C-alpha cells in the first residue's frame, strides 16, 4: 500500500525519523441524517481518517522507536471528540483517532515516543470553510457571511502548537491538546 511505501522510502533515505504528524482528513456526509448517510460516504471517511491513522502508526512506530526520542502527533478534531460535528462519519473517525492515541501511548511511550492528539476547534482550513458554507446554504443563510461570523482560527496557530510539541521545549507535555 502507499502508506507502507512512503515509510519504506523514509527508511531508505533518512537516518532516522523523530517527528510524525498524522494530518489527513476528509469530511463526507455533512448535514445528513443517519438514514441519509450513505455507506460509501461512511467508508470513504473512515478509510482516510481512521484507517489512514492506523496504517501510518503501524509503519511509523518501528522508526519512531528506533529514534529513541521521538514525537507522534495525531490531528483529530474537537468536533469528533467533544461534539458538534456535522457528519456522523467524521465524528466517528475523529473519535476513533482519539481512541487509537491512548493505545499507541500505552505501547510506544515506554520506548521514548511522546504522543499527542491535537483536537482543533474551528480552524480556517479549506475543509472547514467548505463545511461552514454548506451548513449556511442548508440553513438558507449567506455562506460568505457565515464564514465571516464563524470566528475560525488561523491554521498557522495550529502549526505553532505542533512545532512547540515537537521541540525540546514541549518535552514535558503529553496527551490531548485542545485548541481554538
The confidence score (pLDDT) of residue 177 equals 86
Q: How far is Cα 180 from Cα 170, in angstroms, rounded to an integer?
A: 19
Active site residues: 90
Alpha helix stretches (DSSP H) within 33-166: 39-46, 52-66, 78-81, 88-108, 126-138, 143-149, 155-166
pLDDT average, residue stretch 143-171: 95
Pairing of strands 70-75, 175-178: unpaired
pLDDT average, residue stretch 11-29: 95
Burial 97-136 (b: 16+ CB within 10 A, else e): bbebbeebbeebeeeebbbbbbbbbbbbbeebbebbbbbb
**21, pLDDT greater than 90:** yes
> Smallest Cα–Cα separation from 31: which of 95, 93, 85?
85
Tell me the pLDDT of the chain averaged across its residues.
94
In this structure, what DSSP letter does residue 36 have?
Answer: T
Domains and CATH numbers, the chain: 2-178 (3.40.50.720)
Residue-wise pLDDT for 80-97, tens only, equals 888 888 999 999 999 999
Q: Give SS3 for 167.
A: coil
Residue-wise pLDDT for 27-64, tens only, equals 999 999 999 999 999 999 999 999 999 999 999 999 99
Residue-wise pLDDT for 7-16, tens only, equals 999 999 999 9
The confidence score (pLDDT) of residue 102 equals 94
* Distances from the Cα of 115 to the Cα of 24, 157, 160, angstroms: 17, 19, 17
Q: How far is Cα 133 from Cα 179, in angstroms, rounded to an integer?
A: 22
- pLDDT bracket for residue 20 (50, 70, 90): very high
Cell numbers given for 165: 510539541
Exposure on the CB side of residue 93, measured as CA atoms within 13 A: 28
pLDDT average, residue stretch 127-155: 94
More confident residue, 110 or 180: 110
The confidence score (pLDDT) of residue 77 equals 93
Amino acid at each position: 500500500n502507499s502508506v507502507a511505501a512512503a515509510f519504506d522510502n523514509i527508511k531508505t533515505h533518512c537516518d532516522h525519523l523523530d517527528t510524525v504528524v498524522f494530518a489527513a482528513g476528509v469530511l463526507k456526509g455533512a448535514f445528513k441524517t443517519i438514514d441519509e448517510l450513505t455507506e460509501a460516504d461512511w467508508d470513504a471517511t473512515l478509510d482516510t481518517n481512521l484507517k489512514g491513522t492506523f496504517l501510518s502508526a503501524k509503519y511509523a512506530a518501528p522508526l519512531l522507536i528506533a529514534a529513541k526520542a521521538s514525537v507522534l502527533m495525531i490531528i483529530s478534531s474537537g468536533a469528533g471528540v467533544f461534539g458538534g460535528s456535522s457528519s456522523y462519519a467524521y465524528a466517528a473517525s475523529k473519535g476513533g483517532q482519539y481512541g487509537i492515541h491512548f493505545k499507541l501511548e500505552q505501547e510506544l511511550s515506554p520506548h521514548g515516543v511522546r504522543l499527542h492528539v491535537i483536537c482543533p476547534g474551528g480552524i480556517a482550513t479549506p475543509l472547514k470553510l467548505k463545511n461552514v458554507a454548506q451548513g449556511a446554504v442548508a440553513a438558507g443563510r449567506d455562506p460568505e457571511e457565515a464564514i465571516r461570523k464563524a470566528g475560525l482560527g488561523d491554521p498557522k496557530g495550529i502549526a505553532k502548537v505542533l512545532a512547540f510539541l515537537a521541540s525540546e521545549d514541549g518535552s514535558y507535555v503529553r496527551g490531548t491538546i485542545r485548541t481554538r
